[in-house]
Amino acid sequence: MNLDLLLLAAADGFSYAGLLFLVALGLTLIFGVQGILNVAHGSLYAFGGYTAVSLTLWLMAHTQASTPLLFAALIVAAIVAGTVLGGVLELLLRQVQGKDPVLQLLVTFGAFLIFEDVQKMLWGVSPMSAGELVGRLGTVDLFGVTYMAYQLLLVPGIALVLFLGVHYVLRFTRLGKQVVAVAHNREVATALGIDARKVGLLTFVGAAILGAFGGALAAPTTTLVPGIGADMIVLSFAVVATAGLGQITGAFIAALMIGLARSVAVYMAPEFDVAVPYLIMVAVLLIRPNGLFVVAQARRI
């Protein structure tokens, strides 16, 4: 692989890793606070993407929408999709809180199947995309290679800002400290006066918005088709398993590893690009069964 292809692979890898991290971050937060592996999280990614495409296409067809307005539409779409679906899922999972983890997993899987059918009912099965947004940000020349600014700067930049923002919230805000307390020990946190149910709802909805935002950011660069949520949730589970359940920094690093490795495989050995994330996950779990960043202490986020 020559230098130009390596740079292109790195740019694609950072962009893909950013999207992957946003979805994995939502999964990590939900598991950290609720102790639930949310299979339906992939549906949030899909709904965020489809809602973003619908909103941006409507704005372009009926208004003289500026570029900032169209990008604001991506955020609005993620907030709407994440809040609605996240709220519904949290209320559903509240009914099985503290019960057998297998039952919780089956409930989220059932919700995923229902959301997939609702998605097809609302948007059909035809491919959808909002590709014009990518061109509006222009290109960037780096070492003689031209990149789309959207993929090289915007997506990885947003992922990094959200990573730092979540760390700040968890460490330095009242709500963040309550989230950490509930994640460590729900019963003790409740005894100290923390409304664990409210904290769980806010965390779940926030995580759902992150998942939907990943889909919204992917909409301009990805053709949305039925099943895209399933593909993303499987890859996100690979990230979370590689990092270790409940590890935010670990998820960030694992997303980078998997995103870059998958991108390099696309350019060097495309027949293996689908398998590379899972090969990395298997290799890590063979050495560290609990993930790269899990240590022998109480679960934390």
Q: Structural domains in the chain?
A: 3-287 (1.10.3470)
Q: Which residues, including other chains, have CB under 8 Å from residue 125's CB and lie 6 or more apart?
A: 225, 226
Query: What integer pLDDT is reported at residue 296 of this predicted model?
Result: 47
Q: How confident is the model at residue 301 (pLDDT cuts 50, 70, 90)?
A: low
CA 165 to chain centre: 15
Q: How confident is the model at residue 246 (pLDDT cuts 50, 70, 90)?
A: confident
Encode pLDDT of 143-165 as tens digits: 777 788 888 889 999 999 999 99
Encode pLDDT of 8-21 as tens digits: 888 888 989 999 99
Distance between first and last Cα of the chain:
38
Query: What integer pLDDT is reported at residue 54 of this predicted model?
Result: 94
Cα–Cα distance, 168 to 148 (Å, whole number): 30
How much is the mean pLDDT over the chain? 88
In which element (H, E) is residue 14 found?
Answer: helix 3-34
**What values do phi and psi take at 234, rounded to 5?**
-65, -45
Arithmetic mean of pLDDT, 54-75: 89
Burial class (CB in 10 A: 0-12, 13-18, 19+), 247: buried
What is the longest distance spanned by two Cα atoms in the chain? 61
Arithmetic mean of pLDDT, 224-245: 89
Arithmetic mean of pLDDT, 245-251: 85
Q: How confident is the model at residue 300 (pLDDT cuts 50, 70, 90)?
A: very low
Q: Which residues, including other chains, have CB under 8 Å from residue 64's CB and lie 6 or more apart?
A: none
Res. 298: pLDDT tops 50: no
Which of 137, 55, 38 minimizes the C-alpha distance to 90? Answer: 38
Q: How confident is the model at residue 269 (pLDDT cuts 50, 70, 90)?
A: confident
Res. 281: pLDDT tops 80: yes
Find the length of the chain.
301
Q: Which residue has the higher pLDDT, 299 or 217?
A: 217
How many C-beta atoms lie closer than 10 Å to residue 236's C-beta?
A: 30
Tell me the sheet residues that pair with 147. 140
Encode pLDDT of 65-111 as tens digits: 788 898 999 999 999 999 999 999 999 888 888 788 889 889 999 99
Query: What integer pLDDT is reported at residue 295 of this predicted model?
Result: 55
For a pLDDT cut of 70, what percent of the chain falls above it? 97
Which of 173, 179, 170 minimizes the C-alpha distance to 197? Answer: 179
Q: Which residue has the higher pLDDT, 210 or 187?
A: 210
Q: Which residues, including other chains, have CB under 8 Å from residue 229's CB and lie 6 or more apart?
A: 42, 43, 44, 45, 46, 47, 112, 115, 116, 119, 215
Arithmetic mean of pLDDT, 27-52: 91
Query: What integer pLDDT is reported at residue 73 of this predicted model?
Result: 92
Res. 214: pLDDT tops 90: yes
Res. 297: pLDDT tops 60: no
